[in-house]
Amino acid sequence: MKRRNFIKNAALTSAGLAIGNSLTNCADSESKDNKSDVAVSTNKLPLVIATWHVKNATTKAMEILQAGGTALDAVEQGCRVEEADINNSSVGKGGLPDRDGNVTLDACIMDKYGNCGSVVYLQNITHAVSVARKVMEDTPHVMLAGEGAKQFAMSKGFQPEDLLTEASKEAWEKWKIEAKYKPIINIENHDTIGMLAIDKNGDISGACTTSGLAYKMGGRVGDSPIIGSGLFVDNEIGACVATGLGEEVVKTVGSFLVVELMRQGKSPQQACEEAIRRIVSKPNSNYKDFQVGYIAVNKKGETGSYAIHQWFSMTKFQDGVNEQNQSDYYIKKQ
């Protein structure tokens, strides 16, 4: 790419504000090859986005990124903030249990190399995302489940704890009176946490952690620990993470779909919208009764988010601003 074109493009795009990083990237790309238009419009890095309203989590992640840490460390540490928060009833400690009263966690993590690790049906360990990272880094496997995952975590020094808080137990006991299973749309405005980050080097990582759907069947696993469904990262293209009714995300391999759509040239916003359309346009879809939301980022640092229902939101920390943005959504009139 010619420097003259870079300057022209930078002036034409709002992304051109990110001169510092873009120039560095531009110089790099010129020296290596001649094809990286990505450098033209790189938005200001680093950046982190997360599902729902989780400003404490994005603050933590941004601290790491600003200090020159990796996107991988940032997403892990960001997710841990929500896992430790007992007021978040859909993640880690304090997560709502399954119908038998057991809190079971799903989580995964994926790095810039496409390495990934996940845990499913993990009990008694708060920081499922960190166990997922250990699976990625310290085992030849991608996924560990149930008792095996717990034993592995303990062998790595994680301490077992009771994850069912008084508040979650009370809610479960109330639920048991009628014991009607119904996916809840937009639990409390902060739900499964999915986080994507780009570090100062322009490398992308992502993570996702959840206690899954409240009052699910014993043994049920959702989309969140399934690579390609709940999360997918391709460091050349971008990344996506999902929240909502995991079964619907799995059926469309949602996060992988979003990344592939970006590969074909769609913006993160367009890709999220198309992935939601795949769900709602299925014959006999009962999409009015459940929520799915996606957030995505591409290599340029552009972001998008979209959901079926209103009130899904994305927290974004970039260029000194940590803000929660309401997502656009499919069902405009109920």
Which CB sits closer to ligand SD4, 80 or 300? 80
Tell me if 212 contacts ligand SD4 by CB under 6 A.
yes
| Binding characters for ligand SD4, 106-145, by CB under 6 A (x = yes) | ----------------------------------------
192 classed as catalytic? yes
Query: What token pair was written down for 264?
Result: 């074909």
Which CB sits closer to ligand SD4, 90 or 205? 90
Select from 55, 114, 48, 52 the least CA-distant residue to 297: 48
Query: What token pair was written down for 219?
Result: 């043994």
Binding-site size for ligand SD4 (CB under 6 A) equals: 12
Q: Is the dihedral of CA 95, 97, 101, 107 positive or negative?
A: negative
**Least distance (Å) between residue 62 CB and ligand SD4:** 23
CB 274 within 8 A of CB 152: no
The amino acid sitting at 188 is E
The Cβ of residue 256 has, within 10 Å, a number of other Cβ atoms equal to 18
Of these, 25, 41, 104, 224, which contacts ligand SD4 (CB under 6 A)?
224
**Least distance (Å) between residue 224 CB and ligand SD4:** 5
Which CB sits closer to ligand SD4, 97 or 244? 244
CB 326 within 8 A of CB 313: yes
CB 329 within 8 A of CB 74: no
Which CB sits closer to ligand SD4, 104 or 318? 104
Tell me if 25 contacts ligand SD4 by CB under 6 A.
no
Tell me if 222 contacts ligand SD4 by CB under 6 A.
yes
Backbone angles phi, psi at 304, to 5 degrees: -150, 160
Q: Rounded to an integer, what distance in angstroms lies between the CA atom of residue 293 and that of residue 249?
A: 9
| Active-site pick, 42, 192, 252, 303 | 192
| Alpha helices in the chain, H assignment, sequence order | 3-12, 19-32, 55-66, 71-84, 128-138, 146-155, 166-178, 246-251, 254-263, 268-280
Which CB sits closer to ligand SD4, 135 or 214? 214
The Cβ of residue 265 has, within 10 Å, a number of other Cβ atoms equal to 8
| Binding characters for ligand SD4, 236-275, by CB under 6 A (x = yes) | -------xxxx-----------------------------
Chain residues that interact with ligand SD4, rule: CB under 6 A? 191-192, 210, 212-213, 222-224, 243-246
